[in-house]
């Protein structure tokens, strides 16, 4: 259901040039009529607002029942930082965050992780942008499990594309849930974006293309 909050977030992504419509090819090689690029957030106002959206979703779903948050390099880094700041300023929830480098540092403190050092038993949440084929999460989990014996039960993303993963009949998010026991929470889904386009009346030419894409790749 397209709520006012979801409509507001979709329009926020569009105004920030993060959500675009047209003809694109995803990282997994699929043709799509919409593209989400969180790398286009570039102002203080945008990142502050984005942090509040993520923080509200975290507060609504798990409250403060976690120990730290992880932002995968590179796009997950500002997402985790902004979410951590908003959780404290909006709800008084003060939790540490950390992120990884793509390449290990061999001087100074060394290692591939920056920020909080996770401990055995920590409940880690992941703050990410989107999941398409699940490739990024399969790269992230070994990093987290290699750092400590942590528990990863929840992940927060901007958009659930609801796309089939590597297993026929299952979305990448379903696969992540089965493989790692992670619940993925999204601010909006492809269905929300589709409903927004239909309701706006400005994207009539996109509707049949979106329907074709969703019928081909999505499990709703």
Residue spans per domain, the chain: 4-101+114-217
* Residue 105 known to be catalytic: yes
Looking at 107, 119, 198, 209, which residue is catalytic?
A: 107
* Residue 185 known to be catalytic: no
Looking at 105, 119, 170, 216, which residue is catalytic?
A: 105
Smallest CA-to-CA distance from 6 within 141, 193, 215 is with 193
- Nearest-5° angle of CA 152, CA 154, CA 155? 105
Q: Which helix (H) or strand (E) holds 123?
A: strand 123-127
Query: What is the CATH T-level fold of the domain 4-101+114-217, as seen in this structure?
Result: Rossmann fold (3.40.50)
Residue by residue, pLDDT tens for the chain (220 residues) are: 899 999 999 999 999 999 999 888 877 788 888 999 988 999 999 999 999 999 999 999 999 999 999 999 888 999 999 999 999 999 999 999 999 987 665 544 546 899 999 999 999 999 999 877 677 888 889 999 999 999 999 999 999 999 888 888 999 899 989 999 999 999 999 999 999 999 988 888 889 999 999 999 999 8
What is the rounded distance in angstroms from the CA atom of residue 134 to the CA atom of residue 62?
22
């Amino acid at each position: 259901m397209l709520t006012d909050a979801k409509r507001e977030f979709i329009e926020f992504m569009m105004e920030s040039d993060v959500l675009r419509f047209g003809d694109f090819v995803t990282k997994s090689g699929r043709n799509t009529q919409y593209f989400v690029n969180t790398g286009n957030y570039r102002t203080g106002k945008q990142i502050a607002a984005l942090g509040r959206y993520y923080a509200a979703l975290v507060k609504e779903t798990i409250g403060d029942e976690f120990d730290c948050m992880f932002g995968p390099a590179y796009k997950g880094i500002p997402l985790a930082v902004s979410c951590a700041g908003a959780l404290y300023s909006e709800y008084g929830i003060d939790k540490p965050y950390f992120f990884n480098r793509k390449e290990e540092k061999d001087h100074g403190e060394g290692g591939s992780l920056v920020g909080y050092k996770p401990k055995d038993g920590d409940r880690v949440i992941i703050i990410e942008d989107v999941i398409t084929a699940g490739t990024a999460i399969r790269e992230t989990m070994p990093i987290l499990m290699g750092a400590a014996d942590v528990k990863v039960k929840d992940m927060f993303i901007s958009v659930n594309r609801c796309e089939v993963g590597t297993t026929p009949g299952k979305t990448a998010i379903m696969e992540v849930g089965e493989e790692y026991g992670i619940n993925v929470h999204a601010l909006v889904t492809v269905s929300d974006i589709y409903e927004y386009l239909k309701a706006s009346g400005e994207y009539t030419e996109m509707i049949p293309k979106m329907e074709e894409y969703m019928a081909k790749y999505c499990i709703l």
